[in-house]
Amino acid sequence: SYELTQSPSVSVSPGQTAVITCSGDKLGDKSVSWYQRKAGQSPVLLIFRDDKRPSRIPERFSGSNSGNTATLTISATQALDEADYYCQAWDRSSVEFGGGTKLTVL
Amino acid sequence: EMQLVESGGGAVQPGGSLRLSCAASGFTFDDYAMHWVRQTPGKGLEWVSVISGDGSHTKYADSVKGRFTISRDNSRNSLYLQMDSLRTEDTALYYCAKDGATIPLYYFDSWGQGTLVPVSS
């Protein structure tokens, strides 16, 4: 099966930029989405089809996907961004989620 | 406002069956493919199954193929998951999730609150 790898945790100071990565073999050939899940809540779609953002999601969230790595970038990070972040990749052969990255805003 | 509300979860023994339901509101239900995604303690988030907007196309994860059946009733704005021959490894919080399109594009733009299915003897 196809594997997606995420760092278990990332820390960032308020106002700084957080970068969360997701890696997999030829990930750039797949369509990647990103989800935020806060404690006790259901996941929320942040980015779809590599770099597209739902209208309700702030512009601070952006995504990219190339080669073997997809990246979620959170600019001007706020305390309310503290959550678990999951990447998800799809092509015609598989649908997989990464293990998640816990973002701590110090 | 889009809303998805799952129901039907509950404790079940290995080998047993359960039928999950998801009631949808706030959007034109038959315009969108729908999925089931589960959250397990050991494996994190796992996609389970998808059904197209008109119900003509379904697909399953290898882990549930032949045991689970997804269906929908567009007249009732409802999605279902029939789970048979349940195993302990099926223990999870099951989410109903909406796709972004009629033909699945496999991104989930709205999620329910989940329904818990513990499988144990």
Q: Which of B22, B16, B18 is nearest to B2 (CA)?
A: B22
Residue of A nearest to B95 (CA): A42
Burial-class residue B38 by CB neighbours within 10 Å (0-12, 13-18, 19+). buried
Cα A29 to Cα B120: distance, rounded to the nearest angstrom: 40
CA distances from A6 to A56, A70, B43, B106 (A): 25, 10, 13, 20
pLDDT the model gives residue A23: 98
B 78-107 residues with CB < 8 A to A: 95, 100, 105-107
Contact B108 A45 (CB under 8 A): yes
Q: Which residues of A touch B111 (CB under 8 A)?
A: 42-44
Closest chain B C-alpha to A90 CA, distance in angstroms: 6
Looking at A56-70, B8-22, B98-112, which range is the least confident one?
Answer: B98-112
Please state, in angstroms and rounded to a whole number, the distance separating the CA atoms of residues B96 and A38: 18
Calculate what percentage of chain B has a pLDDT beyond 90: 92
Instruction: Write the DSSP symbol of residue B31.
Output: G
> What is the C-alpha separation between A69 and B39, in angstroms, rounded?
24
Q: Token digits for A49? A: 């089809």
| pLDDT tens digits along A8-57 | 999 999 999 999 999 999 999 999 999 999 999 999 999 999 999 999 99
Chain A residues contacting B via beta carbons under 8 Å: 1, 31, 33, 35, 42-45, 48-49, 54, 86, 88, 90, 95-100
Nearest one of B93, B84, B109 to B37, comparing CA atoms: B93
CB contact under 8 A, B47 and A95: yes
Residues B78-94: pLDDT tens digits? 999 999 999 999 999 99
Q: Is the pLDDT of residue B43 over 90?
A: no
**Cβ pair B44:A33 closer than 8 A:** no
Q: What percent of chain A has pLDDT over 70?
A: 100
pLDDT of B99 > 80? The answer is yes
Q: Which residues of B touch A35 (CB under 8 A)?
A: 45, 108
* Dist. CA B25–CA A59, nearest whole Å: 27
Coil, strand or helix at B97: strand
Amino acid (one-letter) located at A62: S
Of A54, A90, A97, the CB nearest to B109: A54
| Residue owning tokens 């015609």 | A92
Please compute, for residue A68, the number of CA atoms within 13 A of its CA located in the half-sphere on the CB side.
Answer: 8
Q: How far does the CA of residue A4 sit from the closest CA of chain B (Å)?
A: 12
Higher-pLDDT residue of A93 and A59 is: A59
Does A91 or A65 have the greater pLDDT score? A65
